[in-house]
Amino acid sequence: MKLISLLLALAVSASPLSQAAPAKKPGKKSTHSRAKAGTRAAARTAAPLVAVPAAAAALAGDAIVFSESEAVIAFADELALRHGFPRAELGALIGQIRYIDAAVQLVKPAPKGKPKNWQNYSRVTIEPIRIRAGVAFWNQHAAVLARAQAEYGVPAEVIVGIIGVETIYGKNTGRFRVLDVLTTLAFAYPEAPNQAARMAFFRGELENALLLARKSHIDPLSMLGSFAGAIGMPQFMPGSVLAYGVDYDNDGNIDLRNSAVDVIGSVASFLVQHGWQPKQGGPIVYPARVSDDRVWESFLNQGLAAKFRGDELRAGGVSSSAALPASQRYGLIDLPNGSEPTEYRIATDNFFAITQYNRSYFYAMSVIELGRAIRLARSGQPLASGETL
């Protein structure tokens, strides 16, 4: 379907699309003036379609009008030149895009509160609803999961774990219009030390979203996602869909919103292209014990990569109840538990590949443990009390 016909249809209907703010996930990111902070609502719905001067909107506390932003207009000019988008069509599309204050509020750093607590986090993510849904998803798509495991070397339980943590198998994919939140964050990102870098990132993703819509022959305003613009069951950013998405059902289209088959193949593809080692085998993480002298602290915070040999860890006071293959490299990760003792794991390359999906130890551990819990539940073997690995 041509973009111009879609825009004409939208202009005729002019029906506002409500925006419901999804729950914020952990470890999840101006040339145009922003509306007054004191008048913003954290879950504001879409702005009016009727444009008013930007200065008047700001004084009144209304949402920014992107069609009047010089930065947005210049960006559209660049897109038209670079990708051949008809400029008039881009202008019409921009007129339909709305400022979403909830996105601005949700990307702000969370206020300092209670210390991080892995046990609390894991109780929220590795729970009966996700486990039951994961068993059903695995049973329904067992053949595809087995195919992906054979072709990519990514275990089915890891793929199932990621989709479960991300959206509970499509239950919570987000209801923001992707173009709305990407434009908002690209041109009205809140003040922060990394503001310029984050705005550049979201401008790139806005460009990718338009390219994805054109490639997929879909209305660009029909794409719904998270407050940061992530799409579909696996919550891929538009650029990731273009770079790592797989047409795994061979229907000629990559559809991460409706095709679980494409989702499975795309998650496996993403991990392999971000360092997953299919031939590594063995556990993804190992239990770890640390000595009292704390020499091992030098192994912490060494980036999202496995850098150390097993003998180096042992010499530094890190040991495991399991044998560590000498051919592999490892990293030491910490899982704080608030006022309770911190837990530690010895992580492999494949653990750090999962952190490329979400740069959080908690996230990667929850994927691993949810996937394992689903595998055991599916085979009728519940987790033992207190078991984590």
- What average pLDDT does the segment 81-101 reach? 96
- What average pLDDT does the segment 111-126 reach? 91
- What average pLDDT does the segment 264-275 reach? 98
- The amino acid occupying position 217 is H
Lowest mean pLDDT among 58-72, 101-115, 235-249, 280-294: 58-72
Return the pLDDT at 387: 45
* DSSP code string of 226-259: -TT--BTTTTB-HHHHHHH---TT-SSS--TTT-
% of the chain surpassing 70 pLDDT:
82
- What average pLDDT does the segment 145-149 reach? 98
Any bridge partners for residue 337, and if so which? 117, 340
Query: 61 and 36 in contact (C-beta within 8 Å)?
Result: yes
Over the chain, what is the mean pLDDT? 85
Of the candidates 1, 75, 62, 9, which has an alpha carbon nearest to the alpha carbon of residue 33?
Answer: 62
- What average pLDDT does the segment 168-185 reach? 98
Return the pLDDT at 111: 81
Return the pLDDT at 48: 29
Q: Is the pLDDT of residue 237 over 90?
A: yes
- What average pLDDT does the segment 164-186 reach? 98
Q: Is the pLDDT of residue 122 over 80?
A: yes
Return the pLDDT at 12: 31
Q: Could you report the per-residue pLDDT of 66-90, keeping only the tens digit for each?
A: 999 999 999 999 999 999 999 999 9
Return the pLDDT at 342: 96
Return the pLDDT at 57: 43
| 130 confidence band (pLDDT: 50, 70, 90) | very high
Return the pLDDT at 107: 95
Query: 33 and 64 in contact (C-beta within 8 Å)?
Result: yes
Return the pLDDT at 175: 96
| 159 confidence band (pLDDT: 50, 70, 90) | very high
Catalytic residue at 166?
yes
Q: Which of 78, 151, 157, 166 is catalytic?
A: 166
Straight-line distance from the first to the last Cα atom of the chain, in angstroms, rounded to the nearest whole number: 49
Q: Could you report the per-residue pLDDT of 253-265, keeping only the tens digit for each?
A: 999 999 999 999 9
Rounded distance, CA 365 to CA 376, Å? 16
Q: Could you report the per-residue pLDDT of 20-79, keeping only the tens digit for each?
A: 233 333 333 332 333 323 323 333 333 322 333 333 343 334 569 999 999 999 999 999
Return the pLDDT at 41: 32
| 6 confidence band (pLDDT: 50, 70, 90) | very low
Return the pLDDT at 36: 28
Sign of CA dihedral 121, 172, 22, 200: positive
Q: Name the burial class of residue 70, with classes exposed (0-12), middle (13-18) and buried (19+) by CB atoms within 10 angstroms of its CB.
A: exposed
Sign of CA dihedral 7, 235, 73, 105: positive
| Residue 254 in tokens | 């990559």
Query: 271 and 301 in contact (C-beta within 8 Å)?
Result: no
Q: Could you report the per-residue pLDDT of 311-365, keeping only the tens digit for each?
A: 999 999 999 999 999 999 999 999 999 999 999 999 999 999 999 999 999 999 9
Structural element, H or E, at residue 345: strand 340-347
Q: Is the pLDDT of residue 155 over 50?
A: yes
